Amino acid sequence: MAKKKTDEDAPEDQPEGAVTEGAEGSGKKKLILFGAAGLVALSLIGGGSYFFLLRGKPHDAAEQQSQAKKPVGFLDMRELTVNLAPDSSQDRARLLKFKVALEVKDPKLIPDIQPLMPRVEDTFQVFLRELRASDLEGSGGLYRLREELLRRVNYAVYPAKVDAVLFKELVVQ
């Protein structure tokens, strides 16, 4: 039969009730196991609370769809041709020919903006005459041009608001 370990079988240099090396190793394993189980439980609780509390509600999606279905208005500007400022190495003038459309969220704003179009065109021409052809190179140049035109058109038509300047045609000669 199996012999039970008693205090008498313990080595003489160990004090009574001391834990042996094998028992100490299993204690560390239990501690790691409980720690990992705790982390898994915390992550499940966190994920569940995000899912139920912070995710979008169904009525929010319906509101977003109804907002997306609202009609937008577009106001076409006439085509403009402008001399660009010469580069230092250039001896001939470069031309910019472009046509844009202005986008507004509410089509009811178009009659408010229409009488201000000469002011918008003047603002565009004054700005564009200072540009060089090198300023319009690449998509970054066009993006900066669009942002600057949008800023200037909103200044010209204030209190109305234009949401976007859309290029319909853009040629640099």
Is the model's pLDDT at 25 over the cut of 60?
Answer: yes
Quick check: 52 pLDDT over 70? Answer: yes
**pLDDT score of 165:** 92
pLDDT higher at 50 or 162: 162
Beta carbons within 8 Å of 102's beta carbon, 6+ residues apart? 74, 75, 77, 113, 120, 153, 162, 164, 165, 166
| 110-131 per-position pLDDT tens digit | 998 999 999 999 999 889 888 8
pLDDT score recorded for residue 100 = 93
Q: Where are the alpha helices (DSSP H) in 72-133?
A: 110-113, 117-128
- 94: which strand partners? 84
Domain ranges of the chain: 21-55, 73-172
Which parts of 41-139 are beta strand (E)?
73-76, 80-84, 94-104
- pTM equals 0.57
3-state helix, strand, coil in the chain (%, to 5): 50, 15, 30
Query: 75-98 pLDDT, tens per residue?
Result: 999 998 988 888 777 667 788 898
Task: Give the HSE-up count for residue 80: Cα atoms under 13 Å, Cβ half-sphere.
Answer: 22
The CATH code of domain 73-172 reads 3.30.479.30
Q: Is the pLDDT of residue 104 over 70?
A: yes
Q: What per-residue confidence (pLDDT) applies to 154?
A: 92
State the pLDDT at residue 9: 53
User: With contact defined as beta carbons under 8 Å apart, do 157 and 116 qualify?
Assistant: yes
Provide the sign of the torsion angle of the four alpha carbons 173, 94, 134, 168, taken in this order. negative
